[in-house]
Structure 1
Amino acid sequence: MTGTVARPNAPRSSAPRHAWLGLAVLILPVLLVSMDMSVLYLAMPTLTADIDPSATEQLWILDIYGFMIAGLLITMGNVGDRIGRRNILLAGAAIFGIASTVAAFAPSAEVLIAARALMGIGGATLLPSSLALISSLFPRERDRATAIGVWTAFFAGGSAVGPIIGGVLLHHFSWGSVFLINAPVVLVLLVFGPLLLPEHKSAGRGPIDLPSVALSIGGILPVVYAVKHFAAEGVDAYSVGLGVAGVLLLIAFIQRQRRLDEPLLDLGLFRRGLFSVAVGSSTVGMFALAGMSYLTSMYLQSVTGRDALQAALLGIPMAVVVFATAMGGGRIGQWLGVRTAFVTALTAAAVGNLLLLGVGVDGGIAWYIAGSVVAGAGLGIVFTLVSEVAVSSVPSERAGSAVGISETSFELGNGLGLALLGSLAALVFRSGGDFAPTLGETITRAGDDTALIEAARAAFVNGLHAAVVAGAALLFVMAIVAALAKRGSEVEVGSQALSESGTAAH
């Protein structure tokens, strides 16, 4: 267990009021980026009826945003460290706002895809710069822990409330409203950001290595695309070839980082036990969460017969718990020790996944709420600890690049969870009978054949059970890894220097 030493007689907060006002500004872009990852799913039916995208164009409308964010996070974190985090935050916000407006009034699928790509570029600047600026606003560890908890809570909460807000907007307005709502929020950020946010840039660092940028983007994008393609279309020669090419480029990227004095990716971070645990936990945590969220959303709509808004409302208990535990995650880390907090939270998330084995064709909503709440409690703590470790593992001038690594792990975990757990559930579903590729198609084609519909719903529930067991197994494995991670390095987290070896911090 990690040892901790509290600082006696410390005041509750030494941060000035303008720092907390600056934090309020910083959570605006975080909320937008996380909401835009989930809100579009609800808008697709009306959007499709209006601009008539092809099946391939629909996939690109959904995926290009996440592709650009995943491919550019590490690069943009480094750019922000060099040219100034406030500068890149405001530039990214302007791009995000303009692109959102274009998307809201897009006359065709091609224009919407281009706008979504620009939104992804802007979003990739917002996440690492906003979290890294917290280290400048809050030099005192206790205040920084609280601020990171708030940041993480709004990031996690945005994904949960996105479908709810989207459902309300779509009930009253056209599909473009889910994009247009970004514009006034971005305007507030552009007005108050220069007044409340400090500028921070690293002194004495050399220029960014452009071949490393090319190898990073050229490796991450094909891998993410291949994973998405596996999930949507199955395994084929094209996706395998693309995935292999991406992996080879990433290997070349890693080899180059080992030779550079100013690498884009500091591989030395992974020799710190807690940083490796944090990146692994964020990847596995998002892997399990993405699979669980996607499959339970389908369960609530296609098995229990609820509409999209009703399904989203049933997600409110989990959203509230994630928000609350993310806010308190730093304090839990101080109380238990970071290593023990990771182990406990990952175990809770795994137990929450297993509780979903109680859902069935004819009932189980109580099991769904219980499982999602327990899993959400664990994941809320995990995600806050990941953010704290990323910010605290490096000197302030490198915070942007470290945050870029941790946020990239979130994106990769999300993509892998949707692809692999979704594919596992689909495989179990298709093995249960002579069904169409998806439950929705099977129900549509079945017509009045209630026996076929019931069999298909039962097969889908079996697939859901298989996926949540797989997610729980990975979470348990990650908890064991966290417990056994290499000891001997120290990292500042919360209000103390936490030693992995169990000795008291200085």
Structure 2
Amino acid sequence: MSLPQGDVSVPRGAPSRGWTLAAVACGTFLMLVAFTMPLATIVPTAASLDAGVAGRTWVLSSMSIGLASALLTSGAVADDFGRRRTFVAGLFLMALTSVVCVVAPDTVTFVLARVLQGVGGAAVTASSLGIIAHTFPAGPERASASGVWGAALGAGIAVGPVVAGLCDAWVSWRLAYALLAAACVATAALALGVVRESRAARPRPVDRWGGLLLAVGLGSLLAGLVESRQDLGDPLALALFGGAVLALVAFVAVERRGRAPMLDLMLLRHRRFLAVTVAAFATGMGIIALFSFMAVFLDTGFGIDALGASLLLLSWSATSVAASLLARRIPEHRVSGRVQLAIGLVGVAVGQAGLAAVGPDTSWPRFVPALLVAGVASGVLNAALGREAVAAVPVGREAMGAGANNTARYVGSAIGVTVVAVIVASHGTSRQDLFDGWNVAVLLTAAFSLVGAAVVLTCRPARDAR
């Protein structure tokens, strides 16, 4: 197999591409399992940790902070120092922090462990797409592998809450984290055996200041969003937002002047990179934000517990898995990645809109058709995002591209969830108020998806690479 220009591979045996794909897909799956597990167990978790209302919000949001803060840095590190090494290190960090979650005596310990678990998950996610780009040449093979990666993404979202809910019903919510730790160690061992090490042909100096400023900026932004969900005028939230602005402005200044910037800001002038970044951000602001809040809505509005809500949402997440696998067969020479992204965003907007116009007399089966539509569209979107994230950056910087793309996705979801929560809360506290707020939030998140699709369609290159 010829290497992508700009990449080097550490001499080793010739492991099967299939096993390599299995290892990175499994790592991606476990990251999403870890990310979604608290959705089904927030009530017993909060009770065990003696967490109040604010504590519950932090339990649900803490991993997002670690993810968004470390994704871009992890991608740059993976490209320069080894993608397999970064992938395996991320899995071991996820395993270690899972053990801490098992024994955590209080909210602070659990939240800190989840933030670090997000850092590990960032290393796994960014390096996994870099490994795929290195292993599979551009074209049908990479499109097929990206479809499997997208399916693993959907599968993790589907399985995480269900496994956590079942573990809590059988033994304790802590059992889910023990199983996660064991699975992460097993996947790391598999990766060490079957994944060939690779890195950029010309490693660059570590952008320490860029990495620090980005982590502080995004971490402060997400922490401020979490705090503001209870009170938009909260002094701590305002201070965090102020710190985020200062750190991110400094980050841009450092990256513009640096000789080896972590993120080459000139990439934003390339329409393909801009299109996939906007698509990822719109995905977070739209479908991910709405469905992250949906478990709370189903519980409060319909009396469906988190495990039941997770099973209902399987009609979305499981459908997205199948659609991601089928999307591998879409010929890119006929339907470009940019068009696939736009189609996916329009599809999820249609699915989201189908969840609106509900009231206290609505029954839960009413949601299933819309969830199925959103699932098909999400599958197409996830597969295209995985492929375009690495195709839109220079050869040898694929993990950085994956990190930038996923950073946009998780920052978008953090902003979107905050918007949804504030809109619903602003309508009042009665059951009818809940439905009124939900209907407005649904249409707004659908609008985010449509705006994202429109921007993506305008990012047509002079010669549309297909």
TM-score, normalised with respect to structure 1? 0.85
- Taking structure 1 as reference, are residues 330 and 252 closer, same or farther at Cα in structure 2, changes over 3 Å only? farther
Structure 1 counterpart of 2:243: 245
Corresponding residue for residue 470 of structure 1: 444
**Matching residue within 287, 302, 321 for 2:319:** 321
Per the alignment, residue 22 of structure 1 pairs with: 20
Aligned twin of 1:257: 255
What is the CA–CA distance in structure 2 between the aligned matches of 1:311 and 1:54, rounded to whole Å? 22
Q: How many residues align?
A: 452
> For the residues of structure 2 that align with 1:408 and 1:402, how far apart are their CA atoms?
10
Aligned counterparts, 1:24-423, within 5 A:
24-332=22-330, 334=332, 335-423=334-422
Kindly provide the amino acid, as one letter, of the partner of residue 463 in structure 1: G
| 1:176 aligned counterpart, secondary structure | helix
What is the distance in 1 between the residues matched to 2:348 and 2:259?
39
Say whether the 8 Å CA contact 2:282–2:448 is kept in structure 1.
yes
- The verdict on how the C-alpha distance between 1:399 and 1:163 changes in structure 2, with shifts beyond 3 A counting, is same
Could you tell me which runs of 5 or more consecutive residues in structure 2 were left unpaired when the two chains were aligned.
1-13
1:469 aligned partner, one-letter code: L
Alignment partners' CA distance in 2, 1:275 and 1:140: 16
Spell out, residue by residue over 1:58-109, the C-alpha distance to the aligned partner (whole angstroms, 9 max, x if none).
4433333221111011111111111101111112211211221121122333
Q: Structure 1's 196 and 475: CA in aligned 2 closer, same or farther, altered over 3 A?
A: same
Match of 2:8 in 1: none
Q: Secondary structure at the match of 1:232?
A: coil
SS of the residue aligned with 1:336?
coil
Q: 1:355 to 1:50 in 2, by over 3 A?
A: closer
Asked if the contact 1:135–1:396 (Cα under 8 Å) also holds between the matched residues in 2, the reply is no
User: Whole-Å Cα distance in 2 between the matches of residues 425 and 333 of structure 1?
Assistant: 41
Question: Which letter maps to 1:44?
Answer: I
CA separation of 1:344 and 1:219: change in aligned 2, threshold 3 A: same
**How does the TM-score come out when normalised to structure 2?**
0.91
In structure 2, give the amino acid aligned to 1:116: R
Instruction: Tell me the C-alpha RMSD between the 2 structures.
Output: 2.0
Partner secondary structure for residue 395 of structure 1: coil
In structure 2, C-alpha distance between the alignment counterparts of 1:333 and 1:359, rounded to whole Å: 38
- Indicate if the aligned counterparts of 2:285 and 2:415 stay in contact, CA closer than 8 A: yes
Query: 1:187-233 CA distances to partner (integer Å, 9 max, x unpaired)?
Result: 22222212210101123232112111111112111111112222233
Kept after mapping to 2: 8 A contact 1:32/1:182? yes
CA distance in 2, matches of 1:19, 1:57: 44
Aligned-partner SS, 1:139: coil
Q: Which residue of 1 aligns with 2:431?
A: 457
Name the CA distance, whole Å, in 2 between partners of 1:265 and 1:130.
Answer: 19
3-state SS of 2:201 partner: coil
Q: Deviations over 1:315-367 (max 9, x none)?
A: 11111221122223343362422233223222211111111124321124343
| Rounded Cα–Cα distance in structure 2 between residues aligned with 1:28 and 1:472 | 31
> 2:289 touches 2:414 (CA, 8 Å); kept in 1?
no
SS of the aligned residue for 2:205 comes to coil
Letter of the 2:362 counterpart: G
Q: C-alpha distance in 1, partners of 2:73/2:308?
A: 39
Change in 2 beyond 3 A, CA 1:238/1:187:
closer
Matches of 2:344 and 2:379 in 1, distance apart? 8
Q: 1:360-388 CA deviation, whole Å, 9 max, x = no partner?
A: 21124343111122122222212221221
- Mean Cα deviation higher: 371-380 or 72-81: 371-380
User: Structure 1 counterpart of 2:37, which letter?
Assistant: V
The corresponding residue for 2:4 is none
